[in-house]
Structures are given as structure tokens and as C-alpha cells.
Structure 1
Amino acid sequence: MSDLPSVPGPVAPRWLYLHGFASGPDSAKGVAVARHFEARGHHVARLNLRVPSMEQLRLSAMLETVRAALGGKEDRAVLFGSSLGGLTAARIAAEDARVCGLVLLAPAFHVVPQLRKRMGEAAWGHWKTSGWIETDDFAEKRKVRIHSGFIEDAEAVDARTGGWPDVRVPTLLIHGKADDTCDIRYSRQWAEGRRHVRMVEVEDGHELTASLPRILAESEEFLRPWGA
């Protein structure tokens, strides 16, 4: 019998799902992704990114929540991210070497300018001056007020990390051509020239509901190197 100490094999990465703005860990896409891959032996942890609360939502708090979920220094993770969760996943991957792969679904690149354009100047100005805006909470099926501190916080994150996340890990990006929430042009600009990014454009809107079978099939094929 050898007296040499055993050398542990590579640690299998954690799989984490990051939901979008005004959504939650029990979103339809998150549940579908988790069920699909758990049937194939991979636990997908669906994080709660309504932090510190939905009313006081902050991108910086979302980033800290994901960092904490990545585990220890030697751990690795594959991140699925939808909309604002996609932006969060990309920001984390650009800064943290523990992230080894990404699946981004309609990521909210340049989230503040996109919010401003979609809301219009009158509503945007009201949000900044009054401090609150009311929107739909898709997770709890109610109206919710979100504090304007979200704007300043997201702008501060962009100022600190740059406008585009500098992601260097293999990435699958799926975006709907008819998305009227997160403009597909930003995903196209980000993916252009990045050989490690596979971008798939589908005939769908922001929720990507009709494309769920395609999302699961593309993700499974993409994630084969991680045992999918």
C-alpha cells in the first residue's frame, strides 16, 4: 500500500440561478432550470436576490449575496442569470475567479439607461425626486414601491467596474429578438468579438417563455464540460 497521501480530484462546481428584477427564486424559468438539471444529478441553488429588501433593492447587495454563495476560496461555480440576474452574474464573473461558466438569459446590460428609456423622462424624474416608484412584483403578485437609491447604487457599480463586464469565462447568452425590456442590441454589442461567448437569438420577448425548451437544450449542450 502506498504511503503517499491521496490527492483530491477537482471539486465539482456549484450551480446557482440568479433571478431578475421584481422576480424571485421561484420564477418559472428558475424552477424549470432547476428541475431539468436536478433530474440529471445537478443541484441548482436558486438564490434570493431581493436584497436587502424588494423596496430597498440594491445591485451592490445582490453582488454580495452571490459572492457569499460561491463558497470558499477553492470552490467553483456555474451561474445562470436572467435579466438583472444576468447582469449580476456577468459582473461577478468579471471579478471573481471562482466563476467558471455563465448562462445569461436576456441580461440587463446598461440597466440604468435602459430603465430610463423605458420609463420615459416624466416617470424617471418623478422616481428621482419623490424617492419611490410603484411597479409590479412578479414574485408576490402585487404592487411594490422601489426606492430610487437603486439608481445611484447601480450607477456606482458601473462607475467602479466599467460599463461592460469584462468576462473571460465560457458564456452562453440567449436573448429574444422581440425583447422590449432589455434591448438585444446591448447583448449583441457585448458578445461581438468575444470568442468565448456563444450568443443565441430567439423569436421571443423578454420573459423567454416560449423559448424555454430551447434554453434547456442549449444550456445542457453548453454545460457538458461541467457534467451536464
Structure 2
Amino acid sequence: MNWEYIYLHGFASSPNSLKANYLRDRFSQIQIPLTIPDLNQSDFTHLTMTRQLRQVAATFPPSPTPVTLIGSSFGGLASAWLGETQLQCQKLVLLAPAFTFLDLWLSALGEQTVEIWRREGFLPVYHYGSKRSLPLSYNFVTDLKQYPETKIQRQIPTLIIHGINDEVIPIQASRDFAASRPWVKLIEQQSDHSLANVLPEIWQEISTFCQLSNF
């Protein structure tokens, strides 16, 4: 049976990110399509985890075609939730997944900024895909609070690749996630959050994990 491969880019990123383009090229070389949806949907302002999960689930092929999700950062967190809720999802590859994202971000913003955001409804966020600041609705926060990571418990093969020098999502978040889930394999790399210096290593791990050498 043919598998479907879907890549989910990170928060405030786009389908034209470095990792997205790199993996698109690698999959193309072995003649396997890699679907990369634009999770911004031309409306970053009203992005929520719920909207993102619905959007990606709608791109799934007809059942029972199995799906492998490859997610980067916030796309990795979304992938983990899709693995929990979508039975067609049979494998996960999570690149520096954004576990504990909300707590880390709100703490970094500080109570005063968060309160202004809540009161005014929108916060300017630099969007790397658009190369400019865009407003983000506070609904992003209230929606994400519905998704505690402790509820991600479905036992499907999961590969996590995380940089030990990650300055955005500390590697301890992935260590903690993997420690209580024996079906999760964590590979630590000498890299930061971008993982930009270990792209060939990432591709090798994905190829092995997904058995792409058979194609």
C-alpha cells in the first residue's frame, strides 16, 4: 500500500522554509510526492491549533491509505495531535517539536504583554514567511489551552529529532515527552532550533524510519 507523506511547517513560517524545501527536494529525488500545506491559510491573524488540525485532516487521502506526518516545531506539535486523533496517521517524524510552546512563549512575553494582548485582542508577531510583523488574535492562546500534551498517548511509531542547543524549545521538552512513551525514539543532534546544519542527517534518519530505501 502506498503511503502519503505530509510536511507541516512551523509557527510564523511557510511552505517555502529551508527544511520544507530541502525535504521536498529529497522526496522528489526518489519520486515520492511530499504534500506541504500552507498552514497560514492567508490568514495568520486567526491561526489556531484547531483550525490547523482541521485543515491538515482535510488533506488526508481516502481511507485506508496510511499517512506519515513530518512536522517542524509548532507543526511538530500539530502532527503529534493529529497522530492522536486521526487513525490514518501511522507514523510521526517530529523535528524540534514545540512541546510546552504556550508556557514558554507566554513566560517570555511577560505578564504585562500577555495582559495587553488579552485586553486588546491582537499581538504583533514577526512572520518569517511574510518577512514582516502580522497581528495574531488572542484566540490562539485560548484555543491552544485545550490541548494539554499529557493527553497525547496513542502508541504509533514516532521519531523525534531535536537539537541539544535549541534556544526556542529546550530539548528537555522532547526528553520528557519521550521518557514516558516507549514508542517514541528521540535522536539528539548538535544543533539549534532550526536544525539547519544537520539536514542530511535528518534525511538519513527519515529515510531509515520510513523505509524509503525500499522505493
**Whole-angstrom CA distance in 2 between matches of 1:207 and 1:225:** 24
- Offset, 1:167: 3.3
- Offset, 1:220: 1.1
Q: Normalised by the size of structure 1, how large is the TM-score?
A: 0.88
Please say if residues 87 and 109 of structure 1, whose CA atoms lie closer than 8 Å, have aligned partners that are also in contact. yes
2:108 to 118, 125, 130: 118
Q: What percent of counterpart residues are identical?
A: 28
Please say if residues 81 and 89 of structure 1, whose CA atoms lie closer than 8 Å, have aligned partners that are also in contact. yes
**Whole-angstrom CA distance in 2 between matches of 1:226 and 1:115:** 39
1:191 to 178, 187, 191: 178
**Whole-angstrom CA distance in 2 between matches of 1:137 and 1:36:** 26
1:209 maps to which residue?
A: 196
SS at match of 2:90: strand
What number of residue pairs does the alignment pair up? 215
1:138 maps to which residue?
A: 128
- Offset, 1:189: 0.7
Which amino acid is the alignment partner of residue 210 of structure 2? Answer: L
- Offset, 1:113: 0.9
The question of 1:81 aligning with 2:71 is answered yes
SS at match of 1:47: coil
Please say if residues 51 and 61 of structure 1, whose CA atoms lie closer than 8 Å, have aligned partners that are also in contact. no
- Offset, 1:115: 1.4
**Whole-angstrom CA distance in 1 between matches of 2:144 and 2:23:** 27
2:26 maps to which residue?
A: 36
1:182 maps to which residue?
A: 169
**RMSD value, Cα:** 1.7
- Offset, 1:97: 1.2
- For structure 2, which runs of at least 5 residues remain unmatched after alignment? none
**Whole-angstrom CA distance in 2 between matches of 1:205 and 1:124:** 26
Which amino acid is the alignment partner of residue 78 of structure 2? Answer: T
Q: Call closer, same or farther: CA 1:157–1:197 in 2, change over 3 Å.
A: closer
**Whole-angstrom CA distance in 2 between matches of 1:57 and 1:165:** 21
Q: Call closer, same or farther: CA 1:226–1:150 in 2, change over 3 Å.
A: farther
Q: Call closer, same or farther: CA 1:226–1:14 in 2, change over 3 Å.
A: farther
- Offset, 1:194: 2.6
Please say if residues 165 and 191 of structure 2, whose CA atoms lie closer than 8 Å, have aligned partners that are also in contact. yes
